[in-house]
Amino acid sequence: MRAARDGANVCLLAKTDKPHPKLEGTVHTAAAEIEEAGGKAIAVVGDVRTDADVERAVASAAEAFGGIDIVVNNASAIDLRPTSAIDMKRYDLMQDINCRGTFLLSKACIPHLAESENAHILTLSPPIDLDPRWAGTHLAYTIAKYGMSLCTLGLAEELREQKIAANSLWPRTIIATAAVQNLLGGDAAMAASRTPEIMADSAQAILTRPAAECTGNFFIDDEVLASEGITDLSGYHRGEGELQVDLFLSGGVPD
């Protein structure tokens, strides 16, 4: 929706064809909101784990809009249980959505990105921190998220000569999403979160930078905004709780 305010064309790939009891909206309502915000959108019902669905979404985007300039790897599953408690079905789900999905969608878009004047791949994944506490607390999830980050690291190098940028973006704090509400602490966690708009504004700043000069970075949202001259982040915190630092980051939240 943030990109749509600048007139972006957006292709959405998602499974949610009909409303889910715990998740508001569908891929179709999301597309409608993008168009209401000023962009154009097409909704593709499919699964990022399925090769044919990804290929269909990429082909649909290229045909509808005449090419592809930007790929955003946003799909992600989360399960923070330790190794002894997690079942392999959940392990496989996270690997297939997070890591394989990122790899597959990025791979499928490369031929189109190579034709773009300012091509970007942006993956919502953390900086790789080998502090044992992350893997030691939730190994399966850490493997899946760091797999996404390794895609950024590798693609940035592999595609450098083609001037296709590959970067990751991660929030300083937890973000007020359905995942936080339903899985990570309910109302208390939502009160300690920043709003999704901080990620949207940060992503927009990254994706409008020259691709040849902006690749291989693991960006943190507030640092991106600071580099754009935005240091008052109070508008992104609507709750009353103290902000909670997100996973994979050390330290507190800067004032």
Map tokens 């994979």 to a residue.
248
Q: Name 120's bridge partners.
A: 70, 165
Residues with active-site annotation: 141
Instruction: Note the Cα 162 to chain centre separation in Å.
Output: 23
How many angstroms separate the CA atoms of 218 and 156, rounded? 11
Residue 251: DSSP 8-state = S
Cα–Cα–Cα angle for 103, 58, 17, nearest 5°? 95
Map tokens 């878009």 to a residue.
109
Q: Which contiguous run of DSSP H or E holds residue 120?
A: strand 119-123
From residue 14, alpha-carbon distances to 42, 84, 99, 101, 105 in Å are 11, 31, 16, 12, 13
